[in-house]
């Protein structure tokens, strides 16, 4: 089906996506909250004053590396190919941190939770950050830094 894209892992993607969706559904139906990682991370660290109770935010954020560790242990290790230089990590991190606070969400809050809610605000945000990501990587490719 995806012979044209030999690097794709559609089945793992779909199953992992279902896991992410069930996790977000658990936050929504269990705690009445959006599983938005940028907002919960800002709340867990105290950078944001309002939002989920601190304990809930900390528990969710601590779960993220824990879950990755469990999958890594079960499957014998997962691939994490980071940029070879620290510079894109620093610039990227600063932009992601500032941008997700200004725009009130990231791939999880606006993307997974907001789009499935058909929230106009989140549909617009997701369309913009996707477009911005496509353009940024295209410019990196054109500039020879990818």
Partner 1 sequence: MKQLLVALLAGTLFGAGLAFSGMADPARVQGFLDLFGQWDPTLAFVMGGAMIPMALAWIVQRRLDKPFADAHFSLPGTSLIDRNLAIGAVLFGAGWGISGLCPGPGLADLAINPLPALAFVIALFAGMIAHRVTS
Per the CB < 8 A criterion, the answer to whether 89 and 77 are in contact is: no
- Under the binding rule (CB under 8 A), the answer on residue 131 touching partner 1 is yes
C-alpha 15: how far from its chain's center? 16
Distance of CA 51 to the CA centre of its chain: 18
Contact between 44 and 58 under an 8 Å Cβ cutoff? The reply is: yes
CB of 126 to partner 1, least distance (A): 8
By CB under 8 A, what part of segment 23-82 binds partner 1?
23-35, 37-38, 41-42, 45, 47-48, 52-53, 55-57, 59-72, 75, 78-82
The least CB distance from residue 140 to partner 1, in Å, is 7
**Of positions 3, 76, 125, 143, contacts partner 1 by CB under 8 A:** 125
Kindly state the number of chain residues that form the binding site for partner 1, as judged by CB under 8 A. Answer: 113
104 C-beta neighbours (distance < 10 Å), count: 15
Closest approach, Cβ 114 to partner 1, in A, equals: 7
Contacting residue, 5, 76, 143, 144, with partner 1 by CB under 8 A? 5
User: What is the rounded CA–CA span in Å between residue 72 and residue 69?
Assistant: 5
**Residue 67 C-beta: closest distance to partner 1, Å:** 3
Burial of 53 (0-12, 13-18, 19+ CB in 10 A): exposed
């Amino acid at each position: 089906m995806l012979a044209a894209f030999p690097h794709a892992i559609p089945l793992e993607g779909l199953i992992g996506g279902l896991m992410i969706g069930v996790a977000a559904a658990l936050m929504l139906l269990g705690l009445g909250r959006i599983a938005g990682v940028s907002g919960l991370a800002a709340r867990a660290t105290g950078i944001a004053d309002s939002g989920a109770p601190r304990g809930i935010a900390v528990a969710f954020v601590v779960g993220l590396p824990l879950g990755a560790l469990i999958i890594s242990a079960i499957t014998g290790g997962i691939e994490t190919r980071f940029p070879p230089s620290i510079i894109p990590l620093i610039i990227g991190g600063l932009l992601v941190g500032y941008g997700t606070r200004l725009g009130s969400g990231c791939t999880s809050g606006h993307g997974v939770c907001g789009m499935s809610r058909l929230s106009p605000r989140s549909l617009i945000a997701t369309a913009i950050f996707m477009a911005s990501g496509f353009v940024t990587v295209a410019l990196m490719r054109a500039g020879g830094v990818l």
